[in-house]
Every structure is written in C-alpha cells, then in structure tokens.
Amino acid sequence: MTISRLDLIQLPGPAYISQLASKSINYNVEEETGYGSANVHPLFSAVLSQTPTIDFSSTQIATVLANAPFIGAGIAASTAFFWKLAAATGPVARGSSSHLKITMTLGYIHWTQIGLQHDSVGTVDSVITVGFDGSNEPLVPAGSQTLPSNVTDTERFMVGPVYINGAQLGANTIKSATIESGIELDIEGGDGNVWPTQIALRITKPVITVVTTEVSPVVTTGVDGVALNGSTGIVVYGRKLTKNQSGGVSRVANGTSQHLSFTGLNGHYWTETQSGDGNTPAQTTIKAVLTALNDTTIPLITATNATIP
C-alpha cells in the first residue's frame, strides 16, 4: 500500500504555491449514456464533455495575488501539480523519482475568496480552470517524477485595520474581513470537441464583508447604507506575521511595505447584522459591494507591498 500527500503547485514563471491548506483536482467528466429502445441496461457510454478544474486553498496570499490579480489571469505555459509519495517511516526524498506530476498548458486562474481573521491565519481560495491547447490533453499525468525543491513558508497574514471613507472603523475592534471576487467565466468550446478551447472573464462582483465589535457603524450607515466616497472608499489591511523563533514581536512593523491592502473606492456599504450571544461581546457585520466608474476601471485594487497607517 502507498499513500501520497498534496505537494506544491508550479505556476508559469516559475512561481510556487507551497503553503497549501488543501488541493483538489476535479476531472469533471460529463458522460452520455444510451439505452436504446426499451432496454433496461445501458448499451452506450461516451464522454460528452470535460472541463477539469483545480481548487486550492493557501496561506500564501501575496504570491497568489502576484500571479492572479483581481480579474484573474490566463495561463498559456506549463503549469504543474505535484503529489508527494509518503513512506511508512517518513517522507520520501524530494529528489527521488517516485512522485506524481500532472501538467497543463492552457487555462485561467482566479481567486474566489480571501479570508482574514484576528485570531487565525488568513487563506486565499482559488480555482484553475483547464482548457485544450489544440494538441495536448488538458491534464497530462506522469509518474516516477522528482519534486521541485522550492518549498517555503514565509507568508502568513492576519486581519489588520479597516478604513471607510477616510475614517478608521473601530480601532482594535476588527475580528475578520472577507473579500470575494465574484468572478464568473465564459468556458467555451465548439465543433463537437470534448474540451473547452476558450476561457475568459465574464463578470466580477467584488464584495467586502467586515466583522467588528463596534456597534456604532449603524449610526453612519442608517438602515439602508451609504455610498463609498470615490476618493478613499473602503480599505482593508492584511497584517503580515514574521518568524520569531528567537523571540520578539511576531508582526511586521506597520511602516514596512510587506502588508496587504484591498481598496474599493466606489460602491455602497451598509450594516448587514448586529448580533449578540449571552454575555459575549456584540458584533456588527458591515458589507460593501464595490462598483467601477466604467468597464476599464478596476473596482478592487489589491496591493502586496502596503504599509499600515
């Protein structure tokens, strides 16, 4: 018996996603089954269509953003997914030719949600949709492979402060922030081919949700919300952690350009809920839907080199 564990993703560049919380390769076969006239048992089976996807969650938020900006990015070069063989007494060496590699050459990568918390490390959930490049099967598996040595763990982020229309939302009260891209894709093929040959962005609907122990925001938003002001809008910061095995503060200094920021200048925000439970602190959930001024303006601006005010 053998077992394997998830290993890194190698994007074009190359760039490596090695801080994986989960990875799932979905082959997504749509089957056509035929029975003929009045038959109980099937007489025919064939693949009708197939659009493989790779879903993964990672704490490596900055690296994902560098390779998949808010609107996502097309992939037109070799991208690989690795599975690492495990032995009974420990890991099999990365340089051993005993691992599994699955390669693709055409697709689209985008992130769906970024979650930042006060008391745990944030993650980014992403999807790679795979297409047909005209010659290679969408996914090509190969055994007896070595693994890249580029395994790191240097990116960890937690939620930072939040500002709305230039004012900080309750200093030291932010419990979580969730950023959703709302991306939908057009996945198209033709001529009776099994696999899609074009994958493109259809729409976005960026939404930011913030949870705070501050209950006063409803005084500003009222019951139906107010507009983002178009100049400062809403800004959510992701605070970067640093290793402190030798002691010291485990947070990167506010003025160091290594933090995350998510900015939406235009849109509408409101108080979604106010809730409490027994003697625990009450919480307010603020939701903002971001809009663009035109079709060429990005409604959500992301940065991986931000400083925190």
Among candidate residues 13, 232, 260, 1, the one with its CA nearest the CA of residue 123: 260
pLDDT in tens, 38-86: 899 999 999 999 999 999 999 999 999 999 999 999 999 999 999 999 8
**Burial letters for 12-32: b for 16+ Cβ neighbours within 10 Å, e otherwise?**
eeeebbbbbeebebeeeeeee
Task: Report the alpha-carbon distance of residue 151 to residue 62 in Å, rounded.
Answer: 15
For residue 142, the model assigns a pLDDT of: 97
65 three-class SS: helix
Among candidate residues 126, 129, 142, 143, the one with its CA nearest the CA of residue 27: 129
For residue 53, the model assigns a pLDDT of: 98
pLDDT(88) > 80: no
Average pLDDT over residues 162-189: 97
Residue with more model confidence, 280 or 179: 179
Question: Which residues have CB under 8 Å from 180's CB, separation 6+?
Answer: 112, 113, 205, 206, 207, 208, 209
pLDDT in tens, 142-171: 999 999 998 989 999 999 999 999 999 999
Average pLDDT over residues 193-201: 96
Task: Report the alpha-carbon distance of residue 132 to residue 25 in Å, rounded.
Answer: 16
Q: What percent of the chain has pLDDT over 90?
A: 91
Among candidate residues 307, 302, 230, the one with its CA nearest the CA of residue 269: 230
pLDDT in tens, 92-113: 999 999 999 999 999 999 999 9
pLDDT in tens, 262-288: 999 999 999 999 999 989 899 999 999
pTM for the whole thing? 0.95
pLDDT(36) > 70: yes
For residue 132, the model assigns a pLDDT of: 96
Task: Report the alpha-carbon distance of residue 59 to residue 189 in Å, rounded.
Answer: 34
For residue 1, the model assigns a pLDDT of: 74
Q: Identity (one letter) of the amino acid at 148?
A: P
| Residue 90 Cα distances to 2, 5, 33, 152, angstroms | 12, 12, 44, 19
H helix runs in 59-165, sequence order: 61-67
Q: Is 8 exposed, middle or buried (0-12, 13-18, 19+ CB in 10 A)?
A: buried
Q: Which residues partner with 117 through β-bridges?
A: 176
pLDDT in tens, 210-255: 999 999 999 999 999 999 999 999 999 999 999 876 667 799 999 9
> For residues 245, 247, 253 and 257, what is the CA-based torsion angle, rounded to 10 degrees?
-20
DSSP string, 229-285: -SSS-EEEEEEEB---TTSS--B--TTSTTEEEEEE-SEEEEEEEEE--TTSPPEEE
